[in-house]
């Protein structure tokens, strides 16, 4: 599943000092040297006996959740997911290499029990209960599968997670076992209740009203080591506490407090001992935290990545895929990457894939070349003729709005694009917007020609492919630019139907090249994964591809 990042929209590369735009100064060494995704994480690993009981972990978020249901289009946001992760079941945990293990707190067994037809059996831990005391059963799995199937368009889902391929969900040997039978093979069956896809109770997923609106103001039943103690939208504060019904290892922390705070203030809050950990996005962030007493910088590249999405909806100025491809060739991504990432990682390069991030098995650099001369020739051939400084066709000027959160660095990226495209006669209008509700009010409705935000991947990259790159006019999901074709849909379908992992990788890269050929979007950078963390915090920091064990996070003795 791909989950969009509002933190990254709001901060992207954060407020970058001049050094970040002109090169890395001698005093701004890249933290941690060369580190690759899939090789390690940086979380200060400690055994439980080395961690003291109690304590409050102070974290930050940039907005109060507009919807706590991360399966919904309104709630499909990384910041919300990070709040909900300690409270909701997932079928698998991942290590730094992205290797999977069944999360035995929730499931005693999850396995593929048939291939013709494909069948997966989930055996639920008999101790697992929701916070109201209700057992977690096969009915919760069945309700979520039905909600995400896409059959009932009243469910405003963010992603189908392969449930559109499910024929039925049945009770197994008892209420604690669910048997999922597929009508069509699904390559990434392990990700249906894992990664960024969490299991919600049937009270949420059982009908469209509760799914869409039931968690708008608060979250109801949860089932993790933590639960919500209190929320205060006015003060911008969420407090999680130990779940007294939790059946697993007792969490070391007493509470986790999440405060709504503008990202630009995170480094100073770390420095002033008002936060315990936060992600860092700029050289100035790093400099602030390096000089703070009791703080350390942890680094492991993650699966968050920045990109530019085009709007190809009917009637949009960029509706023609040949026009989008031509314009793409004139955008100098290396200059953008240098502006964003110099000083944050060694030798930064543009991300070259829409499906896999660098370090994941399957990553291939499928980037088309930067070639503004070819772009100009192609615009000529398409009938866009220069009239003064701007091209015109059939009386329509080639002017495009680049929409982003009103943040210095996203605006700086837009300025680079503006300069690039001015050279070939394309006028870019920079259109910054407030961050609150930017997805629901701007990106999802398609109020842009070019949009800047980020996607967060996980160990299940294929599940996000139909969510974003397939196009069905009555089911947008994550395809905010309304771009696609029946041929691309068919290729995506074949990829997701391939149970051979290596063949699935080959097909996924065919999909990626086809996405580039559609002029769908341009990947820019992969998150270098820098975090400021208080030095005495254990088992928390820069996770890379690994999932956290929230029962082991705490302060060392």
Band (pLDDT 50/70/90 cuts) for residue 10 is very low
Band (pLDDT 50/70/90 cuts) for residue 1 is low
The rounded Cα 290 to chain-centroid distance in angstroms is 27
Sheet order of strands, 237-242 included: 56-61, 255-260, 237-242, 226-232
pLDDT at 7 over 80: no
Reduced 3-state DSSP string for 489-527: HHHHHHHHCCCCHHHHHHHHHHHHHHHHHHCCEEEEEEC
Output the pLDDT for position 87.
Answer: 98
Distance in angstroms (rounded) separating the CA atoms of residues 526 and 501: 24
Distance in angstroms (rounded) separating the CA atoms of residues 280 and 430: 25
CATH number of 48-62+225-301+529-556: 3.40.190.10
Residue whose structure tokens are 């609150």: 436
Band (pLDDT 50/70/90 cuts) for residue 527 is confident
Distance in angstroms (rounded) separating the CA atoms of residues 211 and 205: 5
pLDDT at 38 over 80: no
Least confident range of 2-16, 78-92, 217-231, 502-516: 2-16
Residues 6+ apart with CB under 8 A from 298: 32, 42, 43, 44, 530, 531, 532, 533, 541, 542
pTM metric for this prediction? 0.84
State the average pLDDT over residues 48-66. 95
Distance in angstroms (rounded) separating the CA atoms of residues 150 and 139: 18
Q: What is the mean pLDDT of the chain?
A: 91
State the average pLDDT over residues 349-375. 94
Distance in angstroms (rounded) separating the CA atoms of residues 312 and 309: 9
Which class for 287: exposed (0-12), middle (13-18), buried (19 or more C-beta within 10 A)?
Answer: middle
Q: What is the pLDDT of residues 388-435, one digit of tens each?
A: 999 999 999 999 999 998 877 789 899 999 999 999 999 999 999 987
pLDDT at 36 over 80: no
Band (pLDDT 50/70/90 cuts) for residue 437 is confident
Output the pLDDT for position 457.
Answer: 80
Phi/psi region, residue 509 (left: phi>0; alpha: psi -120 to 50; beta: rest), is: alpha
What CATH class has 73-214? alpha beta
State the average pLDDT over residues 96-122. 96
Q: At what angle do helices 333-341 and 408-422 cross, to 10 degrees?
A: 160
Output the pLDDT for position 9.
Answer: 31
Higher pLDDT, 425 or 99: 425
* Angle, CA of 502, 508 and 509, to the nearest 5°: 100
Q: For residue 245, how many other CB atoms are within 10 A of its CB?
A: 15
- What is the domain partition of the chain in residue ranges? 48-62+225-301+529-556, 73-214, 304-526
- Cα–Cα distances (Å) from 379 to 83, 393, 419, 427, in that order, read 46, 10, 17, 13
Distance in angstroms (rounded) separating the CA atoms of residues 406 and 434: 6
* Residue 342, token pair as written in the block: 């110099």
pLDDT at 26 over 50: no
The rounded Cα 339 to chain-centroid distance in angstroms is 22
State the average pLDDT over residues 136-147. 98
What CATH class has 304-526? alpha beta
Cβ 195 vs Cβ 90: under 8 Å:
yes
Output the pLDDT for position 4.
Answer: 64
Q: What is the pLDDT of residues 183-206, one digit of tens each?
A: 999 999 999 999 888 999 999 999
Cβ 72 vs Cβ 211: under 8 Å:
yes
Least confident range of 11-25, 50-64, 200-214: 11-25
Band (pLDDT 50/70/90 cuts) for residue 20 is very low
* Residue 370 phi, psi dihedral angles, 5° rounding: -75, 115
pLDDT at 134 over 60: yes
Higher pLDDT, 457 or 18: 457
Which own/partner contact pairs does 375-380 have at CB distance under 8 Å and 24+ positions apart? Answer: 375/326, 375/327, 375/328, 375/329, 375/330, 375/424, 376/330, 376/424, 376/425, 378/322, 378/325, 378/326, 378/329, 379/323, 379/326, 379/327, 379/424, 379/425, 379/426
State the average pLDDT over residues 452-471. 90
Q: What percent of the chain has a predicted confidence (pLDDT) above 90?
A: 76
* Residue 283, token pair as written in the block: 């050289």
Residue whose structure tokens are 């793409």: 328
Residue 16's nearest CA partner among 411, 542, 299 is 411
Range with top average pLDDT, 14-18, 300-304, 427-431: 427-431
Q: What percent of the chain has a predicted confidence (pLDDT) above 70?
A: 94
Band (pLDDT 50/70/90 cuts) for residue 149 is very high
Reduced 3-state DSSP string for 161-191: CCHHHEEEEEECCCCCEEEEEECCCCCCHHH
State the average pLDDT over residues 11-33. 36
């Amino acid at each position: 599943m791909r989950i969009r990042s509002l933190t990254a929209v709001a901060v992207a590369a954060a407020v970058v000092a001049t050094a970040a735009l002109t090169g890395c100064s001698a005093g701004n060494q890249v933290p941690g040297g060369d580190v690759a995704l899939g090789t390690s994480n940086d979380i200060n690993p400690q055994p439980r006996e080395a961690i003291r009981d109690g304590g409050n972990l102070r974290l930050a978020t940039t907005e109060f959740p507009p919807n706590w249901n991360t399966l919904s289009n309104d709630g499909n946001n990384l910041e919300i997911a990070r709040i909900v992760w300690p409270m909701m079941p997932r079928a698998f945990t991942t290590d730094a290499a992205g290797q999977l293990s069944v999360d035995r707190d929730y499931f005693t067994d999850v396995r593929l029990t048939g291939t013709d037809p494909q069948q997966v059996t989930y055996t639920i831990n008999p101790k697992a209960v929701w916070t109201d005391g209700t057992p977690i059963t096969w009915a919760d799995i069945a309700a979520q599968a039905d909600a995400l199937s896409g059959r009932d368009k009243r469910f405003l889902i963010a992603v189908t997670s392969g449930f559109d391929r499910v024929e039925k969900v049945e009770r197994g040997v008892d209420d604690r076992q669910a048997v999922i039978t597929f009508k069509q093979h699904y390559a990434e069956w392990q990700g249906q209740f894992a990664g960024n896809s969490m299991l919600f109770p049937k009270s949420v997923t059982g009908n469209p009203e509760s799914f869409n609106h039931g968690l708008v103001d608060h979250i109801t039943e949860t089932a993790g080591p933590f639960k919500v103690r209190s929320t205060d939208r006015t003060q911008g504060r969420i407090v999680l506490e130990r779940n007294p019904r939790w059946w697993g290892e007792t969490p070391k922390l007493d509470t986790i407090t999440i405060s709504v705070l503008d990202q630009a203030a995170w480094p100073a809050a770390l420095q002033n001992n008002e936060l315990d950990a936060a992600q860092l996005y700029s050289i100035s962030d790093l400099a602030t935290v390096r000089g703070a007493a009791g703080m350390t910088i942890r680094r492991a590249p993650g699966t968050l990545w920045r990109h530019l999405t085009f709007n190809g909806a009917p009637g949009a100025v960029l509706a023609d895929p040949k026009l989008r491809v031509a314009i793409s060739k004139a955008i100098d991504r290396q200059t953008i990457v240098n502006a964003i990432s110099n000083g944050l990682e060694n030798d930064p390069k543009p991300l070259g894939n829409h499906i896999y991030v660098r370090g994941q098995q399957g990553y291939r650099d499928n980037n088309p070349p930067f070639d503004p001369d070819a772009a100009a020739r192609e615009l000529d051939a398409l009938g866009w003729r220069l009239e003064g400084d701007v091209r015109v066709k059939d009386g329509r000027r080639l002017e495009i709005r680049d929409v982003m959160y009103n943040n210095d660095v996203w605006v700086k990226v837009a300025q680079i694009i503006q300069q690039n495209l001015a050279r070939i006669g394309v006028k870019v209008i920079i259109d910054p917007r407030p961050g609150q509700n930017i997805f629901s009010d701007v990106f999802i409705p398609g109020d842009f020609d070019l949009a800047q935000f980020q996607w967060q991947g996980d160990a299940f990259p294929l599940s996000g492919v139909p969510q974003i790159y397939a196009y069905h006019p009555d089911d947008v999901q994550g395809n905010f630019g309304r771009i696609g074709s029946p041929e691309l849909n068919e290729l995506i379908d074949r990829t997701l139907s391939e149970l051979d992992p290596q063949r699935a990788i080959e097909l996924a890269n065919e999909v990626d090249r086809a996405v580039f050929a559609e002029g769908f979007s341009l990947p820019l950078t992969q998150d270098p994964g820098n975090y400021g963390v208080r030095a005495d915090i254990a088992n928390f920091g820069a996770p890379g591809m690994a999932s956290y064990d929230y029962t082991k996070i705490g302060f060392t003795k």
